[in-house]
Each structure stands twice: as C-alpha cells, then as structure tokens.
Amino acid sequence: MLAVYNIALRLYATLLQLVAPFNSKAAQWVAGRRGLLAHIQSTIRHETAPIAWFHCASLGEFEQGRPLIEAFAQQYPGYKIVLTFFSPSGYNVRKNWPGAHYVFYLPLDTAAHARTFLDAVRPRLAVFVKYEFWYHFLSELHHRQIPTICVSAIFRPEQAFFKPWGGLFRRILGSFTHIFTQNEASAELLRSINIRQVSVAGDTRFDTVVSTAAAPPKSLPLLEAFVADKAPVLVVGSSWPEDISIVAPPLRHIMGDSIKLRVIVAPHELHESGLRQLEAMVPGQAVRYSAAQPDTVAQASILIIDSIGLLRELYRYGAIGYVGGAFGKGLHNTLEAAVFGLPLTFGPRYKKFQEAQELVALGGARPVESSAQLEAIVRTWLQDTQVRQLASQTNRQYVLDHAGATAKIMAALPLERD
C-alpha cells in the first residue's frame, strides 16, 4: 500500500506539472515548490529559537487554526512559528501574515523531503489543522519523537481509515501524539480502530468567529453608505455560479414587488469573466465594490464584492445570510454569518458539515433545493421579523455555546511553559 501511495503522489505532482501551463492554480502549486527545500534551508538556517510548526491545507484550515496559533504565541513567546500551506489559495493570502515568523509551502510528501524539511525546521512541536494526513512527514515526526497533534479533526465512517484495506491510513493516525476531535462521534470512530490518543475539544473555528464578532468593526465607508437607508440586507457569501442561478430569480421577484431589500454578493472566485457573468445574472442596479463611490453606492440595490478578505466583516451588515457552495462541491463557512445572528439558508449539500446540520435542526438555518424554496424562506424572514429574530438569536447563541476549543487544546499541549 505504501508503494501505491508513493506512486499516486508522484503521479499527482506530474499531472500538476502537465496542466500548469493551462491552469493558474496548478501553475502556482508547481512554481511554489521549485527550489522550495533550498529556500527553506537558507531562510531558517540561522534561527536559534525553539520552533513550533503549524500546517494548514488551505485558507479555511488556516482560519480554523488561527486562534490556536495566536494563543500559542501569547503563551509561548519564546517560540518562533513556522506556518505551512499545501494549496496556493492559502499561501498566497497569508504568506505575509504577521502572526507567523516563517511561511512556506509544504514540500511534496516523500521520505527524503520529510527528512530534509525537519532537519531544516527542527520543530519542538507540530500541529496539523483538521486534515492533511501525510504519511512520510508524520512518520518522520513520530520517529524523531517530536510531539505532533491534530486539532479540530472530524471523521466519518466512509473514510479510508475505517475500511478493511485502510491499514496504511491507520498507521498515519497512529503517528500523532494526540488527536483533538470536534465531536464525540469522531473520537469513537478513532477508538474503534484502536487510536487511543484522542479527546474531544470542539472546533476552533467557533473561537475564530467569536473573536471576529467581538473585535471593533473595520471602517468600511462604502458599506456604511450602501446600507444607510436601513433596508434589510441579504448577504450572499462565497457564491458560485450555481448559487447565483438559484438566488437571482427570487431577488428578481422580491425586488419586482417593491419589497425593500439590499443585497451584498461576495463571489468565491474573482475572475473577470465570472464577475461579468454574475453582473449579467443578478437583477436591479449592481455595482462592484472596487468601482463604487460613497456618494453613488447608495443608489445601487446590489453590491458585488470584488475584493479579498472582506467577507467576515460583511456579515455584520446582514439581516439574512445565504452561504454558497452547497449546490456544488460543498458548503462554505456558515459560522462566520451565524455569529452575527443571521438566519441562514444554503443548498442541499451540507450533510458533511456538523455545524450546518445542527443549525438546521435548531431552526436557525433552512436548506433549499430550488429558487422557489429560497424565495419562500426569504419572504418569510423579510415579512415576519419575529420569526427572523428567533432564528437570529438561535444562531448567535449556538456559536457562543460551542466556543472554547482553543483553551482546551492549549491546556493539554505536550510542552512545558517557557
């Protein structure tokens, strides 16, 4: 099985090299790993402080791990932090994040790369956020007896770890010093395959969004001007074309009935062709954030956010939230909206996301499969403020009740205090 794993990774890397001339993400992945190990060695070779290594697959996992990294830096100020990413979408956005002393791509998972990387970085602690179970890196960490933990982990019975043929993947999990899961069901699954170094801490994303909501609002004059008339605001976050095809007809009908509503749309990807397609699909007068002016944005009914890094702040302005992704590969982050008390709706592919299932069960979120269903839900929330406020309170309280994972993990770290 290990031979198959190694061949599969080599094929993956080769495939990315082949498609790189035609795909920007693949090109960034390939370019980012060109001369990577030599770059890491030369960058960090003179570092004498102890190092903690945090690894995140992409931007979503970074936001999940961010409160833990920040708490670690506060509790262990003598340590330097190395942050690695697997994907360009995480690395490109956070390569200059001031909370880490060094930010790198993760080299491809081979035995030689793992040895060279760990020789260069010399971590006293390694933390993997949620996913990214790389055999050679974890095996080498285990061999060197470097404390290695996984945080905010969540498991499902259909994963390879729990299959009769999943011996290699079970060995990967056995390399961790400790695994902190999001829920008891995940912990029980691990115990069923004799992974005993496990405990339930919860999901650190709750701490991230609670911290965001508690922070002073950013000064966003364009947003303030857009919502100045106090009309209810629908925030469509992380939308894909599949989402807009569902959202656009209800907006056309609702706005056509002269019901007061303003809409903020934050597309997941910001390609020019996609932005033009979005502008063509939405009804009413739409304006891009980058082209808006405070004295004219109030005339628009739809504001398209064509800038990165604003979504978490946008939910502050919302009365209702639609979270994208669940008509495609999977639902995006609902907690960023729920912490601000937005009643939520999204597509049908949300079952892999525990928080979405629980919000639906509590009544704070409503999944939809069609434009007609979405229109009925939005009209109800717009017309019945009592129903909307109940869903709002439900979602906000749900997030507050589930915060605290960071403190639990920090209390259990296998390190001595500086």
pLDDT tens digit sequence for 160-213? 999 999 999 999 999 999 999 999 999 999 999 999 999 999 999 999 999 999
Burial of 68 from C-beta contacts in 10 A (0-12 / 13-18 / 19+): buried
Q: Residue 190 has what pLDDT?
A: 97
pLDDT tens digit sequence for 228-250? 989 999 999 999 999 999 999 99
pTM for the full model? Answer: 0.84
Backbone phi and psi for residue 224, each to the nearest 5 degrees, phi listed first:
-60, -40
pLDDT tens digit sequence for 320-338? 999 999 999 889 999 999 9
Give me the sign of the Cα torsion angle 227, 331, 324, 370.
negative
Q: Residue 217, Cβ neighbours under 10 Å: how many?
A: 11
Q: Residue 198 has what pLDDT?
A: 96
Distance CA 340, CA 318 (A): 8
- Per DSSP, 234 falls in state E
Q: Can you say how many angstroms the Cα of residue 350 is from the centroid of all Cα atoms in its chain? A: 15
Say what percent of the chain tops pLDDT 90. Answer: 83
- Per DSSP, 106 falls in state P
Backbone phi and psi for residue 401, each to the nearest 5 degrees, phi listed first:
-70, -25
Query: Cα Rg for the chain, rounded, in angstroms?
Result: 23
Give the Å distances, CA to CA, from 233 to 179, 381, 388. 40, 11, 13
Domains in the chain and their CATH numbers? Answer: 2-203+403-411 (3.40.50.11720), 214-401 (3.40.50.2000)
Q: Residue 418 has what pLDDT?
A: 53
pLDDT tens digit sequence for 148-170? 999 999 999 999 999 999 999 99
Residues contacting 17, CB < 8 A, separation 6+:
26, 30
Distance CA 27, CA 88 (A): 9
The answer to whether the CB of 128 falls within 8 A of the CB of 150 is yes
Mean pLDDT of the chain: 94
